[in-house]
Structure 1
Amino acid sequence: MDIMRDGAVRWLSPAGFFTMRWWEWGPADGTPVICVHGLTRTGRDFDPLAQALGDAGRRVICPDLPGRGASDWLPDPMLYQPPVYVAALSHLLARFDGPVDWVGTSLGGICGMGVAATPGNPIRRMVLNDVGCFVPVEAMARIRDYIGDEPVFPDIAALEAHLRHIHAPFGQLNDAEWRHLAETSARPAKNGGVTLHYDPAIATPIRAQEAQALDMKALWGLVKQPVLLIRGAESDLLLEETAQSMAAGSNVQLAEIAGAGHAPALMDPAQIALVAAFLGQ
């Protein structure tokens, strides 16, 4: 069984240099897999998947995006947008000499599409976990409404109860998996207790305007790599019609996860096997 390691990269933003940290599994000489988390999550969400891929010989890198987890917060909240995340991730990609695979959940998938659409990019195969080329306005409004506050919880158990509620669409997780998400989602609050492990200012760009649909069809049209598109069967973010239209492309394999919405947690052995099989091709 592989042991998790950590690492860091300095990256240049419009506001200066900052540190982005990551969590790493598998042999240092394995073919890299980059796993990028969702909007309010951290790289530790991928621990079960990363450990399995690492045990199979892949080098798995799971960064905390800027403003999340162990990575630096940014001084200008308006920098918390996908082009800046892609810039940070590009500094990480520059560490590798050769192709990489990409697993992106929600925001991590949007970043993946941004990289994969760029000429000369190193992405070989890509997994998009419950995100596609179109996000409806209703889903964007829901996201806008649940981020940006900074609730303080008396302990990890209370934070876990909160996560079980807001992230119920992750699917049927067991008690140990929920506790893992809670423990890796927590940071000490200023006056005692714990709060969520991200900068509340990540909500600022989203709340700066009225909710509107996110149309990335032009970006998607530039993605030519083989793609595994995973959809939670009850997802409000990746609609069935969007997934089906994307799956019409010869490079796309569509898999729907029953009992999940936005977004499948990729902790279940069957989901891990699905991703591993695709990346192993």
Structure 2
Amino acid sequence: MEEPRLNHVQCLNTRGLHRMAYWEWGDPTNSRVLVCVHGLTRQGRDFDTLARAMCQHYRVVCPDVAGRGESDWLPDPMGYVVPAYVADMVTLLARLNAQTVDWVGTSMGGLIGMGLSSLPNSPVRRLVLNDVGPRIEFGALERIGRYVGEPVTWGSFDEAADAMRLICAGFGPHTPEQWDALNRAHLKQNAQGRWVTRYDPSIAVPFKAVTPEMAAAGEAQMWQAWDRITAQTLLVRGAQSDLVTAQTAAEMSRRGPKATTVAFDGVGHAPTLIAPEQLEVVGRFLLN
């Protein structure tokens, strides 16, 4: 079974430099590049199944966004915001020497993709948004805020994995082997031998500072960005998602890039793009 190569690129922050890790699959000389970016508390190995399916066609690159996975933690927690992540991705694309890219973004990774795609002369050719859009339901933000950044540790991997399956119930049905793969990449032991999630708890600082008024102002800006996107766009979502409603999906299909939309039954926030029917939908969009 093919495994990814781990690389790093230096990026700028408000107090200096940090290293962003990225997992690379396929031929490193392939000019056809697919960038896959994870959600708020996750990391690039979430895309292993999709990357294995796509790496015969693409150079697949799955970054660990700053503060997650193998990437450095930021010295200033207020740097954990989408505009800074967009800047990091521009640095990554320069390292890759990618003239155009296709993009798959789950939740936060989709917001980063929208930000990059909305810029003049954007390199994004095809954009897959996984359960995210310009309008994010505030109730979903509150739900996520109840667990993100909480200082929880576990005494064993199995105990931690059980907790992750509860937190990630919205991912939908998975086999024990699939859960194990998702959790082994997401969990690590700390210096005391306790199991913890593989992200900086301080990512919660700017996230939990969001008020309903700030969310509304941000939504207005995101719809403006949406209307500037020209990339061919696919929105996939969980039919039971509490983050992107059917009404938001319908509006995304009517304006801006007029996204094609697909909902997966039995899934909330967010599809993991592991199930065969999910892989088929995304692969068909990217390769046709």
1:150, distance to aligned residue in structure 2 (A): 2.1
Task: Kindly provide the amino acid, as one letter, of the partner of residue 3 in structure 2.
Answer: I
1:208, distance to aligned residue in structure 2 (A): 2.6
Residue pairs, 1:1-281, within 5 angstroms:
2-30=2-30, 31-54=32-55, 56-95=56-95, 96-211=97-212, 212-213=215-216, 214-215=218-219, 216-249=222-255, 251-281=258-288
1:11, distance to aligned residue in structure 2 (A): 0.8
Task: Kindly provide the amino acid, as one letter, of the partner of residue 266 in structure 2.
Answer: G
Structure-2 separation of matches of 1:53 and 1:73: 30
Runs (4+) of structure 1 exceeding 3 A deviation are: 209-214
More off after superposition, 57-66 vs 213-222: 213-222
The answer (yes or no) to whether the contact 2:33–2:98 under 8 Å persists in 1 is no
- CA-to-partner distance for each residue in 1:104-126, whole Å, 9 max, x for gaps? 00000000000000011110100
Task: Kindly provide the amino acid, as one letter, of the partner of residue 89 in structure 1.
Answer: M
1:43, distance to aligned residue in structure 2 (A): 0.2
Instruction: Give me the TM-score of the superposition, normalised by structure 1.
Output: 0.96
Count of aligned positions: 280
The secondary structure found in structure 2 opposite 1:163 is helix
1:2, distance to aligned residue in structure 2 (A): 3.4
More off after superposition, 22-31 vs 244-253: 244-253
- CA-to-partner distance for each residue in 1:117-140, whole Å, 9 max, x for gaps? 001111010000000110121111
The answer (yes or no) to whether the contact 1:49–1:267 under 8 Å persists in 2 is yes
Which runs of 5 or more residues in structure 2 are unaligned?
Answer: none
Structure-2 separation of matches of 1:217 and 1:67: 27
The answer (yes or no) to whether the contact 2:111–2:132 under 8 Å persists in 1 is yes
Which runs of 5 or more residues in structure 1 are unaligned?
Answer: none
The secondary structure found in structure 1 opposite 2:228 is coil
Task: Kindly provide the amino acid, as one letter, of the partner of residue 244 in structure 2.
Answer: L
Structure-1 separation of matches of 2:194 and 2:3: 29
- CA-to-partner distance for each residue in 1:62-99, whole Å, 9 max, x for gaps? 00000000000001111111111111111001122321
More off after superposition, 1-10 vs 149-158: 1-10
- CA-to-partner distance for each residue in 1:138-197, whole Å, 9 max, x for gaps? 111112222111211112111110111010110111101101111111122232221000
Structure-2 separation of matches of 1:247 and 1:133: 12
- CA-to-partner distance for each residue in 1:227-255, whole Å, 9 max, x for gaps? 01001000010011000111124642111
The answer (yes or no) to whether the contact 1:150–1:196 under 8 Å persists in 2 is no
1:209, distance to aligned residue in structure 2 (A): 4.2
The secondary structure found in structure 2 opposite 1:23 is strand
More off after superposition, 183-192 vs 61-70: 183-192
1:29, distance to aligned residue in structure 2 (A): 2.5
The answer (yes or no) to whether the contact 2:235–2:260 under 8 Å persists in 1 is yes
The secondary structure found in structure 1 opposite 2:180 is helix
Structure-2 separation of matches of 1:186 and 1:2: 22
Structure-2 separation of matches of 1:225 and 1:153: 43
More off after superposition, 118-127 vs 185-194: 185-194
Structure-1 separation of matches of 2:15 and 2:182: 31
Structure-2 separation of matches of 1:35 and 1:272: 13
Structure-2 separation of matches of 1:97 and 1:265: 26
- CA-to-partner distance for each residue in 1:183-221, whole Å, 9 max, x for gaps? 111122232221000000000012234354551211111
Task: Kindly provide the amino acid, as one letter, of the partner of residue 61 in structure 2.
Answer: I
The secondary structure found in structure 2 opposite 1:146 is coil
Instruction: Give the aligned CA root-mean-square deviation in angstroms.
Output: 1.3
Structure-1 separation of matches of 2:210 and 2:223: 21
- CA-to-partner distance for each residue in 1:10-49, whole Å, 9 max, x for gaps? 1111221110001111111231000000000000000000
